[in-house]
A and B are shown apart, each in its own frame.
Chain A
Amino acid sequence: MPAAHGIFAAALPPLAGSLFSLLAITSLLLAFVMLGSRWLYEYLIAFAVQSWLIALLSAAVAFYGGYPELYGIAVLTALFRGLVLPYLLLRIVRRLKVDRELHERLAPSSSLVVGAMLVVFAFVVATHLGQALGLTGTVAVLALTVMLSMKLIGFLMLTVRSEVISQVLGILVLENGIFLGSQILVPGMPLLIELVILFDLLVVVACFGVLVRYLVVHAGTSSTLELRRLTG
């Protein structure tokens, strides 16, 4: 039943299809920018731009799919994810007086290679799921690929980066991936859930901010490499 697949089966205007693809792929590229850089400020800018792109995507889905409530989500995404969160993180970075990764477990160049392999894996999984639903070659498969890739890249960042702020950004990339995918796959998701998840993210980052301060004061470090007292 193609009609039930929403706007994302074959019957998508070519312009809309290209726009969705462009936004999704650019967001994925920005995840790679974070992966390939050592500088915390670059992470922040990439994250902010990524959030803005996702906001644009929400607006585009609202326009082409006829989900007016997504305009509101677009505005809130731009505001919260694009401005407030980067600002909160910027404050943490300034307070930490650390502006780059010093001891990453995997050099940025190697992480890019691993990241590329993860995208291939995500593509295989997404294609498989797409085939099961008869969606081969649609935006839905692309959205799935980007969603899973960003998820995996987020986990990769959590694994190979040791600065606390990189870990927070890793979590945020995970969340951005889910949010991006959900805009295309389930645009009709009840508004309340999306609002609460947005709010939840804000609380998460606030908690991270407080914890980072505790870490610096009580553990004397902002690098998780130093957190190795608790083992066994």
Chain B
Amino acid sequence: MSIGALVAVILLAPLAAVAGCLALRRPRASEYLNLIAAIVSFGAVIALLPRALGGPFTLWRGYLIVDPLGAWVLLSVATVYLLASIYAIGYMRALDEEKRLHRFYALFAGFALTTLLGPLMNNVGVYWIAIELTTLVSTFLVGFERTRESVEAAWKYIIVVSAGISLALLGIIFFYWGGSLTLGATYDLTWSALRSVAPRLNPTIALAAFLLVFIGFGTKVGLAPMHTWLPDAHSEGPAPVSAMLSGALLNTAMIGIARFIQVADSAHLGTLPRTVVVVIGALSLLIAALFITRQTEIKRLMAYSSVEHMGVMTLGFGFGGPLGVAGALYHMLNHSLNKSLMFFGAGDAMHAFHSKRIGRIHYVLTAMPVAGLLWMAGAVAITGAPPFGLFLSEFTILRAGLAGPNAWAVFVMLLLLIVIFIGFLNHFRTMYFGEHPESAAVHRQPRAAGTAFWCVLPMWLALVPLLVLGVWWPRAFAHYFAVIAAQLAIGGSP
């Protein structure tokens, strides 16, 4: 199939699922429609990956772009979409929301559609709109359970992110303005146009524009101190939605930051832009470390862990160079797999113990033997311990940082990763090996019939690749990262 056809399949599959769910209005049919859409999208993304390597290609009058960086983000998005769609079948059945289930899946597929759209956008303005659309759709998924807390989370999410991302729009307009001084009043602000005009931009404007854009998209990525919406939204949405928010959505906004860093490089703004990126990345790690160690709620723990890993990725892109970019991209896929696993486990534990509070979850292994083991393995993985993928990617980012001008950040990162390792696993220690064996039986609920398969399968599907990626860095990936790093370098291909 041609690249255009593959892109059409990637986007039309979730769109068809949205239409199907709304037309049929049946819970079972909606589940499977969404799952089929996820499988089809995932398959098409896999087929697209090798083809994108020759890119960038532009499609549809230049509005869509297929390049290796975008395809890589698509891979992590489609992976999480597939895993979350499998898990959602089990999780949502247990929620007892049969009447509204078709709406959930319509929104879910719609959310997947918007997140798949973002990395494909070639026009910077349209990319901004795609990111804004993801917020609008996912707000209703966050508030889906209609409890007081979830509606509060949805409100904070939409207000904070809309306000933050409007700064990015301002920055984009500054870039357009700066470019119009050389390119003429009307032109298409594509990524390549921006990159080629960057060396001729007025440095003052370019710097202001970059900072605005970074803060704006940084809000959506969940970087501290703009992360305040993230723990609320991640903790109050249903578990599959949390997985999508953390594993898919944040990456879609991260790709914008990666591309704008390149623009800042091409504009020759000195070391300031990258230093700002590194400082914000390190600050995210610090905030995450503080809130992880003192956390009392299981899903907020995972949410702050997302802030941490977005900080790590930001550090990777901020350090830059072939190693930094490769580390950040490898980390992106590993984090998507791992965080999905973590939210699935958290969802299972919440169902089993009827509580989100860490203090009310005891002896997880007796309540959920298989899922519990997988969750435990995921917890070890997400703190960056070998032999899992995140160890490799974090190590690569550390090495990348040592070579650059911001080497101080490497030591900060290392220290905070150790703090997080201890803090995070300490919570798991209390949940798995509590002090009062007799209290274990009190809260436990049996798993709803017929959901075990759907809940446990995606956890295996996440953990096994994570382990494989931890012991074996595929040569094809290394090549892919090298191509992306070359394209993200100053004067890199279009």
Q: Do A and B come from one complex?
A: yes
Residues of A within 8 A of B (CB): 1, 4-6, 67, 125, 128-129, 132-133, 147, 151, 154-155, 158, 164, 167, 170-171, 174-175, 178, 181-182, 185-190, 193, 196-197, 200, 203-204, 207-208, 210-211, 214-215, 218-220, 224, 227, 229-230, 232
Contacts of B8 in A (CB 8 A): none
Is B149 a contact partner of A178 (Cβ separation < 8 A)?
no
22 contacting pairs across A/B (C-beta < 8 A): A4-B182, A132-B205, A151-B166, A171-B162, A171-B163, A174-B166, A178-B169, A186-B180, A187-B185, A188-B186, A193-B123, A193-B125, A193-B126, A196-B126, A200-B133, A203-B136, A214-B143, A214-B151, A218-B148, A219-B148, A227-B155, A230-B156
Binds A, one of B271-279, B289-297, B338-346, B414-422: B289-297
Is A219 a contact partner of B151 (Cβ separation < 8 A)?
yes
- Contacts A1-B181, A129-B205, A186-B176 given; indicate if A211 touches B186 (C-beta within 8 A): no
Contacts of A219 in B (CB 8 A): 148, 151-152
Contact for B166 among A128, A129, A175, A188, CB less than 8 A: A175
Q: Given the complex of chains A and B, what is the CA–CA distance between A14 and B162 in angstroms?
A: 38
Contacts of B148 in A (CB 8 A): 218-220, 229
Residues of B within 8 A of A (CB): 123, 125-126, 129, 132-133, 136, 139-140, 143, 146-149, 151-156, 158-159, 162-163, 166-167, 169-170, 173, 176-177, 180-182, 184-189, 202-205, 208, 231-232, 235-236, 291, 294-297, 300
Is B202 a contact partner of A133 (Cβ separation < 8 A)?
yes
Is A185 a contact partner of B177 (Cβ separation < 8 A)?
yes
Q: Given the complex of chains A and B, what is the CA–CA distance between A154 and B158 in angstroms?
A: 15
Residue in chain A with minimal CB distance to B162: A171
CB distance from B62 to the nearest CB of A (A): 11
Contacts of B204 in A (CB 8 A): 128-129, 132-133
Residue in chain B with minimal CB distance to A199: B129
Is B152 a contact partner of A230 (Cβ separation < 8 A)?
yes
Contacts of A4 in B (CB 8 A): 180-182, 184
- Known A178-B173, A211-B154, A232-B296; 15 more pairs at CB < 8 Å: A67-B185, A133-B202, A133-B204, A147-B170, A178-B169, A181-B170, A186-B173, A187-B185, A190-B187, A197-B125, A204-B132, A219-B148, A224-B155, A227-B156, A232-B291
Contacts of A175 in B (CB 8 A): 166
Is A230 a contact partner of B180 (Cβ separation < 8 A)?
no
- Contacts A132-B202, A200-B129, A219-B148 given; indicate if A207 touches B158 (C-beta within 8 A): yes
Contacts of A181 in B (CB 8 A): 170, 173
CB distance from A77 to the nearest CB of B (A): 16
Contacts of A132 in B (CB 8 A): 202-205
Contacts of A193 in B (CB 8 A): 123, 125-126
Q: Given the complex of chains A and B, what is the CA–CA distance between A187 and B170 in angstroms?
A: 14
Q: Which of B162, B182, B300 has the most CB of A within 10 A?
A: B162
Q: Given the complex of chains A and B, what is the CA–CA distance between A196 and B125 in angstroms?
A: 9
Number of residue pairs A-B, CB distance < 8 angstroms: 136
Q: Given the complex of chains A and B, what is the CA–CA distance between A141 and B42 in angstroms?
A: 49
Is B152 a contact partner of A227 (Cβ separation < 8 A)?
yes
Contacts of B203 in A (CB 8 A): 132
Is A208 a contact partner of B158 (Cβ separation < 8 A)?
yes
Contacts of A215 in B (CB 8 A): 151-152, 155
Q: Given the complex of chains A and B, what is the CA–CA distance between A187 and B136 in angstroms?
A: 28
CB distance from A231 to the nearest CB of B (A): 9
Contact for A232 among B169, B187, B294, CB less than 8 A: B294
Contact for B159 among A171, A188, A214, A232, CB less than 8 A: A171
Q: Given the complex of chains A and B, what is the CA–CA distance between A210 and B155 in angstroms?
A: 11
CB distance from B191 to the nearest CB of A (A): 15
Q: Given the complex of chains A and B, what is the CA–CA distance between A211 and B173 in angstroms?
A: 29
Residue in chain A with minimal CB distance to B178: A133
Residue in chain B with minimal CB distance to A69: B186
Q: Given the complex of chains A and B, what is the CA–CA distance between A151 and B163 in angstroms?
A: 10
CB distance from A171 to the nearest CB of B (A): 5
Q: Which of B133, B163, B189, B235 has the most CB of A within 10 A?
A: B163
Q: Given the complex of chains A and B, what is the CA–CA distance between A205 and B170 in angstroms?
A: 20
Contacts of B188 in A (CB 8 A): 190
CB distance from A191 to the nearest CB of B (A): 9
- Contacts A167-B159, A178-B169, A207-B158 given; indicate if A188 touches B180 (C-beta within 8 A): yes
